Chain A
Amino acid sequence: MLINPDLAAFMTSPVMIILGTRDDALVPEIARAVGAIVRPEQGCVDLIASEWQWPKTVANIRANGRLSVTFARPSDYVSYQVKGHAAVTPASAEHVALAAQYMDRMAAALADLGLEKRITAPWLVDRDPVTLRLAVQEVFVQTPGAKAGQLIERDQ
């Protein structure tokens, strides 16, 4: 599925990235990612996450591939959720560099909102990074309000 350029730009800006997975008994698990690279023409998003911090999430994706990701801008709550199938691969050097850059930009954006780096540090961790390559199948608006949860695109 094609990812439109506006959405791609949003996903790679300093937005909080949260991950939802589930195990084989449908028990959900939460994690955070530290950076995204969008490949619009392939309908793919690469997300970098710390396997050290979020081992169960990575294990869930290895087991069943189901992944939902919400991108949320802390300053105005604009949010999108994408859903699809993901695979776990080792993080490349490019991904590791991107994660470092994302963590800096995100920490600065949160600091602008009055959240000191001391507080946001536990949310921005890249120890033992892995790449989650997500093939996007659905895109939803998630911004609070009347349109929350509305499907805006689905893979045919």
Chain B
Amino acid sequence: MTIQLQDLAACFEGVIPSIIATAAPDGMPNISYLSHVVLVDDERVALSNQFFSKTAANVRANPVAAVLIVTPRDGAQYQLDVTFDQSLDSGDLFDDMAVHLRATSTQMGMGGIMRLRGVDIYRVRAVRAVPSPATAVAEPSPAASLPLAAVAAATRRISEAVEVSSIVDAVLDGLHKFSHAMLLLKDPTCQRLVTIGSRGYGRSGIGSEVPVGEGVIGTAASERRPVRVSDMSRLRRFGSAVQASSSDENRTRTIALPGIPDAMSQVALPMVVHGVLRGVLFLESSKRLAFTKEDEAGLAIVAAHAAAALALAESEAGEGQPVMQPAQNNLVTRGQPFRVVHYAYDDSVFIDNEYLIKGVPGRLLTHLLRIHLREGRTEFTNREIRLSDELRLPDIKDNLETRLLLLRRRLEEKAAPVQLLRIGRGRVRLELTAPAILEEAAN
């Protein structure tokens, strides 16, 4: 039976190290482990070239080589008889491999060392199964977890959603086959991504941040390419505290990124529309090889679709009709008052000494509460928020919905005595269960 390279797709997931043997013109062989072998097509494989310099030198003098690859599911070994074809230092394939290497090596603390010099393309002359007492049959790759029909169903759900909040939910609900997922949106005023929704984690992590360029999520953002890792066991977990408590939040004014401590597989998909990065869709699993190449392709479609829907929702959010609230005073006077403290220097907000949020969403809440206390009003329009001099909103006109959503979800998660409701196109309402006392703190 002839073995096709495509049947061995799982061998190229980077779980079990591959091996390459070459021979120098003087006849001395060389044998080395490889960090990364990629399946290019039915006849070719690509090898990353960082430091196995003897291998690179040998194949330029004597192009025949042998590559041993291993199926991660059953350990079956295959030797590929290959011939060096060419070396690439640019192009899509090079970029894909460079991004993967960078994402995984920054996590190992080897960012500077693991620089991709080139990608060497080899033509495969023959595939031979290595005899084994245990297994002798090539196991076909499993079917993708996310078939095209599931991608269609997920995108349909997203298409039906009309505002930012329901789009975020549609994306995450549409990926229910996967155990852990989160959606992060790029803050247009800085190089950070903010978690706006998640599924499967002990705590939602809404409001947690990832710097662009850091780890799997940040690299997918900075490079605008999918990053997929199939075996994290040798990589350090990105981010710091996986199980950060809220007392840490109060001290650091930072919400920790949710995560599973024993993550083995991760995939991050950039969300780009109109050439602009909107965010990152991220999934992880405690299983090795949880995401296939097909999953990555399907998830990339979902991420791109979500980016377009979110951009449209922001631009069509509308300004809201002028508030037609009855003239009566809606100021809440009953109940045990709660204290809201706003720190101007970073716009962080604490409610009854519990950290809530900082930045623009913190400023928004302070602003709405101030008007409420002054005028007794609880309903507001996007238009008046946008035009407010007091708010000093950054000149980003298509991001208000996202910031309001972030604030709303964080208030929900903290079960705060003040909640924010979206009551129609471009309109929100504050709901207070008790009177608020607003304080400005100097630092």
Contact = CB atoms under 8 A, between A and B. Distances in A.
A121 B76 CA distance: 9
Nearest to A67: B29
Interface string A41-64: 000000000001110000000001
Interface residues of B, number: 46
B235 interface: no
A121 B29 CA distance: 26
Interface in B56-103: 62, 64-68, 70, 72-77, 79, 81
Given A27-B81, A28-B64, A29-B21, A22 B31 contact: no
A133 B22 CA distance: 21
Given A53-B131, A67-B29, A122 B76 contact: yes
Given A18-B68, A26-B64, A113-B233, 6 more contacts: A20-B29, A30-B19, A118-B134, A122-B130, A125-B133, A145-B51
Nearest to A119: B75
Specify the main secondary structure of chain B where it touches its partner: loop
Interface stretch (A4-12, A68-76, A92-100): A68-76
A53 B23 contact: no
B134 A121 contact: yes
Give the dominant DSSP class at A's interface.
mixed
Contact of B66 (A28, A120, A145): A28
Given A121-B75, A125-B133, A149-B52, A30 B233 contact: no
A30 B68 contact: yes
B97 to A, nearest CB: 16
7 contacts: A18-B68, A22-B27, A66-B29, A68-B28, A69-B31, A79-B33, A146-B51
A120 B29 contact: no
Interface of A: 18-22, 26-30, 52-54, 64, 66-70, 72, 77, 79, 81, 83, 113-115, 118-123, 125, 127, 140, 142, 144-146, 148-149
A122 B418 CA distance: 62
Contacts of A125: 132-133
Interface string B25-46: 1011111110100000000000
A134 to B, nearest CB: 12
A115 B113 CA distance: 27
Given A26-B62, A27-B81, A119-B75, A18 B133 contact: no
